[in-house]
Amino acid sequence: MRISIDEHVCIGAGQCALTSPQVFTQDEDGFGAVLTGREDGAGDPLVKEAARACPVQAITVDG
Ligand code: SF4
């Protein structure tokens, strides 16, 4: 699994960090970010749920 966030699409809604806090966080400006070393999803079953929860589909989950 490989997770990425399109920073040009993200509006900083924070749903990803709320849904899967083991993988996602928000940067100092409030935009979504993948925690360092968790780009593979860290085995968290909530990653796909977090991608679905993003209101602007900024999160891509491959694999
Ligand atoms: S849920 Fe989507 S819009 Fe909100 S912070 Fe995460 S990536 Fe950005």
Burial (CB < 10 A; 0-12, 13-18, 19+), residue 55, is: exposed
Q: Where are the domains of the chain?
A: 2-62
- Place 58 in a pLDDT band, splitting at 50, 70 and 90: very high
Give the list of residues 6+ apart from residue 18 with CB closer than 8 angstroms, or none: 53
Residue from 3, 16, 47 to probe ligand 1 pocket by mutation (most atoms less than 8 Å from CB): 16
Looking from the CA of residue 15, the nearest atom of ligand 1 is 1
What local confidence, expressed as pLDDT, does residue 21 receive? 98
* Segment 9-46, tens digit of pLDDT: 999 999 999 999 999 999 999 999 999 999 999 999 99
* Domain 2-62: assigned CATH number: 3.30.70.20
Q: For residue 63, what pLDDT is reported?
A: 84
In this prediction, residue 56 has a pLDDT band, given cuts at 50, 70 and 90, of very high
With a cut of 90, say whether residue 50 has pLDDT above it: yes
Q: Does the CB atom of residue 9 touch ligand 1 within 6 A? A: no
